[in-house]
Amino acid sequence: MRKGSLTFVAAIAVLAGVSFAWMRIDALGSDSPLPTSSQLTQALTSAPSVGGDAGGLFHGSRMWAAIVDRSGDVVLAVTSTSDSTQVWPGSEAIAKSKAYTANAFSLDSLALSTAQLYTFTQPGHSLFTLGQSNLALPNTGSAKRYTTGLITFGGGVPLYKNGKIIGGLGISGDTASCDHEIAKRVRDILGLNPPGGSLVDDISYSSVDGASVFTHPLSLNTWRNGIFIGNELPASGY
């Protein structure tokens, strides 16, 4: 699609009240390694029934999924329900931010899920205040960069094709741990795993895996790979 045609499509989308991000997938062309809307939706709806219980509040049944390309542009966003109002509205932006983050900090040789960034960004750790880098990027070349924020808890994973990173996937709509479970299942269903396999950037918990800089806290009704792990600790001191 030529630049002029793409600009016209964007203008029509704005007039119709449709986010331009939803239109980008058509502009990528049939040779894009990223999934189509129907492929992503099918993977998202089938993920809760693959690999055991996903845990959380809704067991992965009420999700937003978003994909960014390697440039970080949001190209696709879908819900697992036919009625998108029955998924938390706030989860749309979170899913996009998770996709952006997973892509932004992963390489061909290193897949980092957003779950693995959690401890790094806590007070006293080396990437504390990373979220303050959530600034809009300037226009680059002939295309606008539609940036999102950074999310450093479970639900975002990088996407790979033939050993090369091609973008990121973000899932949101449940607990952080459940979001991660669904994200890795969707990526696996789509056949877009990193070179090290589907679990190379899996979530870890200090209660079962030992403390590390990659660890993530438990969520409500936490399951991992079909095994119940535990529950988020109750509040203390307030």
Residue 67: which of 137, 148, 170 has the closest Cα?
170
Most confident of 126-130, 137-141, 221-225: 221-225
CB 178 within 8 A of CB 216: no
- Residue 68's pLDDT is what? 96
pLDDT tens digits along 155-195: 999 999 999 999 999 999 999 999 999 999 999 999 999 99
- Burial label for 60, CB within 10 Å (0-12, 13-18, 19+), is buried
Return the domain boundaries, the chain: 20-229
Confidence of residue 129 (pLDDT cuts 50, 70, 90): confident
pLDDT tens digits along 75-106: 999 999 999 999 999 999 999 999 999 999 99
CA separation for the pair 229, 227 (Å, rounded): 6
- Residue 134's pLDDT is what? 60
Confidence of residue 122 (pLDDT cuts 50, 70, 90): confident
pLDDT tens digits along 59-71: 999 999 999 999 9
Q: Which CATH number describes the domain made up of 20-229?
A: 3.30.450.150
Residue 152 has pLDDT above 50, yes or no: yes
